[in-house]
Structure 1
Amino acid sequence: MYINFAHFLIPKISALCSVLINPLTVYIVWNDKKLQLGPYRYLLLYFAFFNITTSVADMLVPMCVLNYRYAFSVFVSEGYFDQYSEFNQFFLAFRCSLISGAYAVLHAHFLYRFFVLFNNQFLARWFMPYGIILAVLYCLFHTVYWTIFCWFYMGGDFDRRVYIRDSMLEHHGVDVMNMTIIIAQYFEGTPQAMKKSRIGIGSLSVLSIISLVFIFHFGYKICHKLSSQSLEMSEKTKKLQTQLMKALVVQAAIPTCVSFAPCLFAWYQPVFGLDLGRWIQHAAGIAVATFPALDPLALIFFVPTFRKKFAEYFLFLKSCRTNRTTCSQQTTTSTSQPRIDK
């Protein structure tokens, strides 16, 4: 179904930018000889792969939010997975789980930066391969946790679909009975539907809040250590660690602002029966899709070496296009000149 122009276009542009920028960021990081990031490159590769996966999921499962009275819902607005089936319901739940997966990847980055400053010997001994394997398993835990609660507790059963049916017909002109949709209904429903909805949203909220507390706790410790005079580290290394930490803070702020905050607002707005307009619900689906493209830009912006190489790459592409255009014009000019036979 067609929601509006912004909802149709922005996620697709964001996914395209993500698929282009993330591999380029990995290329710059992997071939850098100046900063010598060591095993941290593997975490950056892991983050880029996760961002690309999220962008692909955005293309396959474009999401939109509909809130009606005391019910929150997120549904697939178009594509191959918009029609109801148990597999499509599961896939929508998995797409939602990538929101929490982003925090799991960020946790690995914060822990790495923490151990670099507080126990570098432990990191050097255990990070490869055990640390990176544990980071992947930790991300899987987040995605499985979210998928289970979204699919089993908010799977859009018959009673909850009936509750929002008229609203869906009014706003989007489709029958909710045939849609892939997740619904949380807090009041005015059957006891079973309300109980499962509250358990589902409550469980997701608990894990999300723990994720934020984790980031704030380790972020504070890292920033405090970097600003202390007791840090035994060269000025060059300390400067690099500060740059990477600034990038990481922004990378943590991006999913908080464009993923978690819209989700939290959409979840709890119906608890109080608030109706703040459809534009907020449309914005939630759009904002979630922009995270994979914005995330690598923080690393490029805050680390001057990466920023310089990023600029050089685009200047190189511009130079190649200019040279091709010049050669094409010269070829056209030479072939268009009349030949003089002797």
Structure 2
Amino acid sequence: MYIHWTNHYFPKIFGILSFVANPIFMYLIVTEQKSNSIGKYRFLIFFFAIFDMSYSTVELLAPVVRLRFGIFSVFEDNLQGIHGTGAAFVVCLTDGPFYGIKNLHLAQLAVSIRCGCISLSYGILIIHFIYRYITLFFPKLVASIFQSTGCICIFLFFITHGIVWAGVCELFLYGDNEMRDYIRDAFQKDYGVDSYDIAFLGAIYMEASDQVVERSWAGILILTGISTYAVSLYIALGYKIMKKLRDNPAMSVTTKNMHKQLFRALSVQTIIPICISFSPCLVAWYGPVLGFDLGMWNNYLGVIALSAFPFMDPVAIILLLPAYRNRVFGVVPKAPVIVPTLVTRSSHRWTTTANVLAH
């Protein structure tokens, strides 16, 4: 199902770039001689890199596109408008090994898992914020985080986000015959595809049976709640972390600078999914209801932005952490300047003085 060249090629390009950037990032983590400066936090960012590549793998196996069905629009220029008098959006499989298979339930599950990766990105960022919060407020607990029990709790917390999101898609946003009839003419006209031959998730907000409308709204509101909870937690924990760094005179300058660098990197890591995951999802979910017609952005660029996340994330960290940035760009820190030794003789003893100016 060929939608547009941007949607067809850019996610694949970003997927390949992810498998270039993340191994480089992992190599920097493993070989950094000063890795003790960030302690065991390097294990979390290493896990983040593995997740980024897993995200890209799912993206390549189950590429999707979001198609909007808005209110009081018509089909023009191959951009999705209204079908009937209702409003809906559809996330459908466009390519990959699951496209065109006879078992549409399996293909739909692949789409749900692909969408669940959005929530996994929320979950792993929350873990990073919680870790930074613990290191500042409860440093005695840091050692227990990476013990067996702590690691199990981290993994369960992380994977639960993806399972819940994918489960909501499967239980509330699945494509039944009523939805397939709703979009059939549009798909046949614009893409030459029968809606009964493709796997998709969708929501119809009005002008459908009560059962379909109610479960559509229920699914969208639950997903909105998950997204809002994640972003609110970022803001709340981020505010507390910044306040702690600002109002803690007992912390040494070196330690404070390290925490600031790591928090700055984490903040950028958070801004990326908010801009390219959270915002596009809200536009896709509520645009049809509110009558927003963002044209190509809603149909193509939102999906491209989602696929860019696993590549942009390691690049942002490398650029923001001086130790990694200097190694990638070959910047060698200035060596200390040693002032020539001054030798004096006093009371039959030799006294040697050396002044070292660190840069």
TM-score where L is the length of structure 2: 0.84
Which amino acid in 1 is paired with 2:275?
C
Secondary structure, in 3 states, of the residue corresponding to 1:269?
Answer: helix
Distance 2:35 2:259 in 1: 10
Partner of 2:237: 218
Aligned to 1:124, the other structure's residue is in SS state helix
Q: Greater share of helix residues, 1 or 2?
A: 1
Range with bigger deviation, 16-25 or 121-130 = 121-130
1:282 corresponds to which residue? 300
- Determine the structure 1 residue equivalent to 2:29: 29
Q: CA 1:172 to 1:207, structure 2 compared with 1: closer, same or farther past 3 Å?
A: same
- Matched residue type, 1:63: V
**Which residue is 1:309 aligned to?**
327
Instruction: State the alpha-carbon separation in 1 of the partners of residues 264 and 112 from structure 2.
Output: 32
In structure 1, the partner of 2:283 is 265
Gaps of 5+ in 1: 314-342
Q: Distance in 1 between matches of 2:128 and 2:121?
A: 11
Find the residue that maps to 1:73 and give its secondary structure: strand
Matches within 5 A, 1:106-255: 106-228=125-247, 230-255=248-273
Residue 348 of structure 2 corresponds to none
2:283 touches 2:298 (CA, 8 Å); kept in 1?
no
> Any idea what the Cα deviations from partners look like across 1:277-317, whole Å, max 9, x if unmatched?
2443111111110000000112111111110112239xxxx
Cα deviations by residue, 1:145-198 (Å, 9 ceiling, x for unpaired): 011110121111110111112222233221111101001111011111111111
Q: Partners in 2 of 1:119 and 1:285 — Cα distance?
A: 39
**Do 1:97 and 1:144's aligned partners in 2 also have CA atoms closer than 8 Å?**
yes
Distance 1:233 1:154, change over 3 A: same
Going from structure 1 to structure 2, the CA distance change for 1:126 and 1:248 (only over 3 Å counts) comes to: closer
How many residue pairs match? The answer is: 312
Q: Percent identity?
A: 36
Amino acid at match of 1:174: V
2:53 maps to 1:52 = yes
Cα contact 1:55–1:289 (8 A) shared by 2: yes
Q: State the secondary structure of the residue aligned to 2:98.
A: coil
Distance 2:237 2:292 in 1: 35
Kept after mapping to 2: 8 A contact 1:43/1:132 = no
Match of 1:81 in 2: 98
Higher mean alpha-carbon deviation, 192-201 vs 164-173, is at 164-173
Q: Is the 8 A contact 1:55 1:292 kept in 2?
A: yes
Bigger drift between 300-309 and 274-283 goes to 274-283
Taking the aligned partners of 1:141 and 1:260, their CA distance within structure 2 comes to 18
Mark the structure with the bigger radius of gyration: 2
**In the alignment, is the contact (CA less than 8 A) between 2:66 and 2:299 conserved in 1?**
yes
Equivalent-residue separation in structure 2 for 1:284 and 1:162 (angstroms): 26
CA distance in 2, matches of 1:287, 1:126: 33
C-alpha displacement of 1:13: 1.2
Ranges in structure 2 where 5+ consecutive residues have no aligned partner: 71-86, 332-359
The Cα offsets for residues 236-288 of structure 1, whole Å up to 9 and x where unpaired, read as: 22111101101100100101111111011000011124433244311111111
Deviation at 1:133, TM superposition (A): 2.2
User: 3-12 or 176-185, which moves further after superposition?
Assistant: 3-12
Provide the C-alpha distance between the structure 2 equivalents of 1:44 and 1:274, rounded to a whole number of angstroms.
38
Partner of 2:118: 99
CA distance in 2, matches of 1:137, 1:128: 14
TM-score of the superposition, structure 1-length normalised?
Answer: 0.88
Matches of 1:107 and 1:126, distance apart in 2: 15
Q: Distance in 1 between matches of 2:207 and 2:8?
A: 33
Q: Is the 8 A contact 1:72 1:266 kept in 2?
A: yes
SS at match of 2:281: helix
Equivalent AA in structure 1 for residue 9 of structure 2: L
SS in 2 for 1:33: coil
Q: Structure 2 counterpart of 1:246, which letter? A: R
Q: Conserved in 1, the CA contact under 8 Å of 2:144 and 2:150?
A: no
Q: Does the aligned pair in 2 maintain the 1:155–1:182 contact within 8 Å? A: yes
Distance 1:274 1:261 in 2: 14
